[in-house]
Chain A
Amino acid sequence: MNRLISRVSEQKTLWPWLLLLPLTAYLIVFFAIPLGQVALMSVTEPHVGLENYEKVLTGSLYRKVFINTFMTAGLVTVCCLLVGYPLAYLMAHTSDRRAMLILLLITMSFWTSFLVRTYAWMVLLGNNGPIIWLFTAVGIADPPHLLFTRFSSTLAMVHILAPYMIMNIYSVMKKIDPALIRSAESMGARGFSLFRHVYLPLTAPGIANGSVLVFVICLGFYVTPVLLGSPREQMAAGLIGHQIEEFLAFGLASAMAIVLLTITLAVLAVYHRRFGLDRLWG
């Protein structure tokens, strides 16, 4: 029946585009044009030519920043996975009530503005904060400097992005039919081999989803690295902002933005070919 209905509506091709028209026009004006402007500025500011790209792709400062961005995004993704997978597993295998409470906590964290969360880490890791206080309480006289380092920004990003990972993996784990695990056990799989050959492949889609999301968001992260990170180890988004705020170097900032965008879209395209993008946020 549904097949028939869809065939009928396929014939009326004008109506859906009429409904889409306002949004399409809007996105062209307020999305495509600004984005096009970035691309344009990258080859015209201050002079027409590819000199901005030449600088961005060959200059040692910029290369260092992009490598740093990539490494940080990778590190944050791995950390999120290490933190998120076991927790998702525990949630999927504990009582419903307890899982609900943990889920409530994670949603709360997810919904709390990441500015608030970044600020909270500033408090936690600050020189007069509770962690330093703990260090001195234990008797370590010269506690390490935690704030405004690579460590603090990475830690905060892991905290901010972990909910994406946990929710993605948890929703996949929750759908695994327990009978499947039991039947694998009945066939002699146990312990690590059960995990390696049955559970891990079954949860792989959740891992892939969560990892791609965390990685991609992390690549373009601005606020947390700028506020918590070391000024000497900037990430790409931070440097783009810096170029504009300090030097009004629109051409250079645009070229970096286009490189960043290309990398992001490349990651998403790989994912799209493998799994289909529509599943990523669904």
Chain B
Amino acid sequence: MNTMMRWFGVAVIVFIAAPLVIVVPMSFSTASSLQFPPPGYWLGYYADYFSDPSWLRPTWNSLFIATCVTLLTMALVVPATFALVRHKFWGKGIANLMMMMPMAVPHIVMAVGYYSVLGQWRLVHTHLGVILAHTCLSVPITFLVLSANLKGFDQTLERAARSLGASPIQTFIHVTLPILRPGLFISALFAFIQSFDETVVAIFISGRDAETLPRKMFDSIRQEADPVIAVISSLLFLVVLIALVAPHVARTVRRVIADRRVTPTISAE
């Protein structure tokens, strides 16, 4: 039973890992279509990606749009989250539901709506249109991450600051904000990724001018399966890997440094 389970587990791990691993060798392949094992290796498609404006422009569009979405989402969600976590008031349940709704509606449904409404407002195929739509879709996940952080925040700390002579604004600047900084950063990251990865709405509303990277990839996969996609996939994969491993590395480095620091160990008790 146990060994069978273990082999099953290994099989599942291979199933999950294989697609992640396969794109990396493909990105160095000399083949012009999907072929495995690759007939040879080179860096030509990397060079293509970094020199082809039809790939670089969507990349910049995506980065620009995701950055704007992050800023706008945070500006809207941070005050709302404070209200919802810290206060009890009439209509709180409805407000909570409202924050979560964009997550419950399939993106294709929103895509139909945005295509029509933004068209009427002459915002379809513009950066602004994509930013406005994406911000809406980023609200739920950002709210979830931030509210989890805010719920864990000990409000006694704010009382302590007040008793020590800090005004409400000073308390926010010197105590609340620094302690919540990691939570704010993570929720902003979620907003960024939500926008950067969003495909369906972008397919319908971004058009040529505001074309995002996922839209370009989608079109490319559907039409010709350009090998550059393997390059972008590998690069995106690398970014995720770095983002996940970096905190571990940073912690290890910090620990090594901390160990070298000679600390007095006289106990006060």
Taking a contact as CB atoms under 8 Å apart, the answer to whether B82 and A117 are in contact is: no
- CB pair B214 A22 closer than 8 Å: no
CB distance from A53 to the nearest CB of B (A): 15
Name A31's closest neighbour in chain B (CB-CB).
B136
Verify if B243 is at the interface (C-beta below 8 Å from A). yes
A window 61-110: CB within 8 A of B: 83, 86-87, 89-90, 102, 104-109
Residues of A within 8 A of B112 (CB): 38, 41, 240, 244, 250, 253-254, 257
Shortest distance between the CB of A225 and any CB in chain B (Å): 11
Chain A nearest Cβ from B165, distance in angstroms = 21
In contact, B104 and A17 (Cβ under 8 angstroms) = no
Complex CA distance for A254 and B6, rounded to whole angstroms: 48
A234-253 Cβ-contact flags toward B at 8 Å (1 or 0): 00110011001000001001
With a cutoff of 8 Å between Cβ atoms, the chain B residues found around residue A164 in the complex are none
Whole-angstrom CA separation of A120 from B155 in the bound complex: 47
**Are A24 and B88 in contact, with the CB atoms below 8 A?**
no
Residues of chain A within 8 A of B114, CB atoms compared: 34
How far does the Cβ of B27 sit from chain A's closest Cβ, in whole Å? 10
Task: Verify A130–B22 contact, CB threshold 8 A.
Answer: yes
The secondary-structure label for the interface of chain A is: helix
Contact with B along A112-144 (1 / 0, CB 8 A): 111111111111101011100100000000000
In the complex, which range does the number of interface residues on chain B fall in?
35 or more
Q: Which of A202-224 contact B (CB under 8 A)?
A: 216, 219-220, 222-223
Q: Which of B69-99 contact A (CB under 8 A)?
A: 75-77, 79-80, 82-84, 86-92, 95-99
Residues from chain B with Cβ under 8 Å of A56 in the complex: none
With an 8 A cutoff between CB atoms, is B268 at the interface? no
Judge whether B197 and A244 touch: CB under 8 Å. Answer: no
B175 within 8 A of A: no
Inter-subunit contact A38/B116 (CB<8 Å)? yes
* Chain A neighbourhood of B214, CB < 8 A: 113, 115
- Complex CA distance for A219 and B76, rounded to whole angstroms: 29
- Per-residue 0/1 for A4-36: is the Cβ within 8 Å of any B Cβ (1 yes, 0 no)? 011001101101111110111011001101111
Bound together, the chains give a CA A250 to CA B97 distance in angstroms of: 28
Alpha-carbon distance between A230 and B245 when the two chains are bound, in angstroms:
38
Q: Given known contacts A109-B20, A129-B34, is B15 in contact with A83 (CB within 8 Å)?
A: yes
For B103, the chain A residues whose CB sits under 8 A away are: 281
Contacts of B82 in A (CB 8 A): 19
Is A198 positioned at the interface, with any CB of B under 8 Å from its CB? no
**Contact assessment for A38 and B102 in the assembled complex, using a CB-CB cutoff below 8 Å:** no
Bound-complex Cα distance A19 to B236 (A): 36
Q: A87-B12, A117-B19, A119-B229 are in contact. List 16 more A-B contacts (CB 8 A).
A: A17-B83, A23-B139, A27-B139, A31-B136, A86-B8, A105-B20, A115-B217, A120-B20, A121-B19, A220-B108, A244-B115, A257-B112, A260-B106, A264-B105, A281-B100, A281-B141
A to B CB contacts below 8 Å, 11 in the list: A9-B88, A13-B90, A35-B109, A38-B116, A102-B13, A105-B20, A117-B20, A222-B199, A227-B222, A257-B108, A257-B113
